[in-house]
Amino acid sequence: MSDITLNAAAKVAEAAPRSAPITQIGFVGWLRANLFSGWLSTAVTLLLAYLIVRWAIGFVDWAFVNAVWSVPNNQTQACRDLRGTGACWAVVTEKHRFILFGTYPYDQHWRPALCIALFVGLYIVSAMRRFWRKELALIWVAVLAVIGVLMWGGVLGMPYVPQERWGGLVITLILATFGLALAFPLAILVALGRRSQLPAIKAICVLYVELIRGVPLISLLFMASVMFPLFLPEGMNIDKLLRAQLAIILFAGAYLAEVVRGGLQSLSKGQYEAADALGLSYWQKTGFIILPQALRLVIPPLVNTFIGFFKDTSLVLIIGIFDLLTAGKTAIIEPAWQGFGIEVYLTVGAIYFIFCFAMSKYSQGLEAELNRHRRH
């Protein structure tokens, strides 16, 4: 017995080290582990692969092979002849300026286009951690002022464009960005107020947050559009875009306040007590000790909330403000282009998706980065 064991051991020692079987490592191993690990998994993989291939072929046929890319002079007969077998991208080719810029004067389209570029630049700069300083607030004020000048014009040789003619993507960006920029300070005040020890202030903040969060944004927008004019003294009027912007700020303020409050609550009590022990006043304590830590904690949920508002600005469609989605919906009202909603909504959706996807990936990356020190 022991003989045999000895011999076997000697044999193994002589053999050259072998690599793992081909079925366990590399590509094949990966396939076996992740796609074909059992009969159920294999069946699911095959079924899904079949469905994906079938769907992809159908989609490529519809979107590219059979598609019509342009038609002369709004003659959409070529599109109608497809009877749904191919996409009519001609509607996008024809109306893309309208979808992006609304009824802004055609020869001035470079102005909203430049504004869109400025907005995107502003987002990118704000996303970089090296710019997270007090000066960032100044950059925001400056860029938003430049955007206002560009859109209205009336100076530097740019003709004046009334607000009623603005439209498209730039309105969506204005509503979202100004909404956030003004809702954020409001949210901080409300969040602090909700944790305040002064009963009257606490009650006001709780009432505000719970009231706003209990009703849909649409009801606030309706309020801004039909009720707000009744609130103002006779002769005083605020234009519709500004009223909708106010509704969005009030709405966003309540939701952001809850996010900020989450950050305030997650700070340990010792931070508050240490600040008190140093003899700091309430505002010194809040500004130097509490807020810098609390806000840093809630940046990822803040970005997620911002994605939500970016999407929610599309609700202004219901009160007739000309944002990106409204422009898309209006583009297909014309009889010649009726019935090509799917193509337009896919295009508009792609624009929303680019913005939201970028923000969502950024938020995920940031969360991982900010949580790195907790992984021990």
Partner 1 sequence: MSQTTIDPRSLRAPPRRPLRLSWSDERVRAIVWQILVVGLLGAIVWWLWSNTVHNLEVRRIATGFGFLNREAGLPIAENLIPYSPTDTYFRALLIGLLNTLKVAVVGIILATVFGTLIGIARLSKNWLLSKIAGVYIEVIRDLPLLLQLLFWYAILQGLPGPRQALHPVGGVFLSNRGLKLPWIEWQDAHSYALLAFALGAVFTWFYRRDAIRKRIADGRPRPVWPVALGCLVVLPVAIWAAAGAPWTVDWPELRGFNFRGGLNMSPEYFALLLGLTTYTAGFIAEIVRAGILAVPHGQWEAAQALGLRPGQVLKQVVLPQALRVIIPPMTSQYLNITKNSSLAVAIGYQDIVSIANTTLNQTGQAIEGIAIIMVVYLSISLSISLFMNWYNAKIALVER
Three-state SS string over 228-243 comes to HHHHCCCCCCCCHHHH
* Alpha-carbon distances of 104 from 74, 161, 333, rounded to whole Å: 21, 8, 18
Please name the residue ranges forming H helices in the chain.
Answer: 2-14, 26-34, 39-60, 77-82, 90-101, 110-127, 135-152, 169-194, 199-214, 217-222, 228-231, 240-266, 269-277, 282-284, 291-297, 299-312, 324-331, 341-370
Q: Is the dihedral of CA 84, 89, 95, 99 positive or negative?
A: positive
Closest contact distance (angstroms) between CB of 271 and partner 1 is 20
Report helix, strand and coil shares of the chain as percent, to nearest 5. 75, 0, 20
Closest contact distance (angstroms) between CB of 191 and partner 1 is 16
What string marks each residue from 209 to 248 as x (binds partner 1 by CB under 8 A) or -?
A: --x-xxxxxxx--xx--xx-xxxxxx--------------
Q: Angle of helix 90-101 relative to helix 110-127, nearest 10 degrees? A: 80
In whole angstroms, give the CA distance from residue 229 to residue 251: 19
Residue choice 315, 321, 327, 331 for contact with partner 1 (CB under 8 A)? 315
> In degrees rounded to 5, what are phi and psi of residue 68?
-110, 125
Span interacting with partner 1, options 2-10, 33-41, 101-109, 268-276, rule CB under 8 A: 33-41
What string marks each residue from 97 to 136 as x (binds partner 1 by CB under 8 A) or -?
A: ----------------------------------------
Position 319, amino acid: I
* Alpha-carbon distances of 189 from 202, 256, 259, rounded to whole Å: 11, 11, 12
Span interacting with partner 1, options 13-21, 271-279, 285-293, 348-356, rule CB under 8 A: 348-356
Whether the CB-CB separation of 288 and 278 falls below 8 Å is answered with no
Closest contact distance (angstroms) between CB of 266 and partner 1 is 15
Closest contact distance (angstroms) between CB of 104 and partner 1 is 22
Residue choice 127, 238, 299, 342 for contact with partner 1 (CB under 8 A)? 342
Q: In this complex, which beta carbon is closest to partner 1, that of residue 204 or of residue 297?
A: 204
Closest contact distance (angstroms) between CB of 133 and partner 1 is 30
Q: Angle of helix 169-194 relative to helix 299-312, nearest 10 degrees? A: 130
Tell me, by CB under 8 A, how many residues bind partner 1: 55
∠ CA 303-304-310, nearest 5°, is: 85
In whole angstroms, give the CA distance from residue 376 to residue 371: 10
Residue choice 6, 9, 28, 44 for contact with partner 1 (CB under 8 A)? 44
Closest contact distance (angstroms) between CB of 128 and partner 1 is 22
Closest contact distance (angstroms) between CB of 13 and partner 1 is 37
Count of Cβ atoms closer than 10 Å to residue 23 Cβ: 10
Q: Burial level of 345, CB count in 10 A (0-12/13-18/19+)?
A: middle
Q: In this complex, which beta carbon is closest to partner 1, that of residue 71 or of residue 220?
A: 220
Span interacting with partner 1, options 69-77, 90-98, 284-292, 352-360, rule CB under 8 A: 352-360
> In degrees rounded to 5, what are phi and psi of residue 58?
-60, -40
Residue choice 299, 329, 334, 362 for contact with partner 1 (CB under 8 A)? 329
Span interacting with partner 1, options 58-66, 117-125, 145-153, 314-322, rule CB under 8 A: 314-322
Does position 39 bind partner 1 by CB under 8 A?
A: no
Closest contact distance (angstroms) between CB of 124 and partner 1 is 18
User: Residue numbers of the site for partner 1 (CB under 8 A)?
Assistant: 34-35, 37, 41, 44-45, 48-49, 52, 84, 197-201, 204, 211, 213-219, 222-223, 226-227, 229-234, 307, 311-312, 314-315, 317-318, 325, 329, 339, 341-342, 345-346, 348-349, 352-353, 356-357, 360
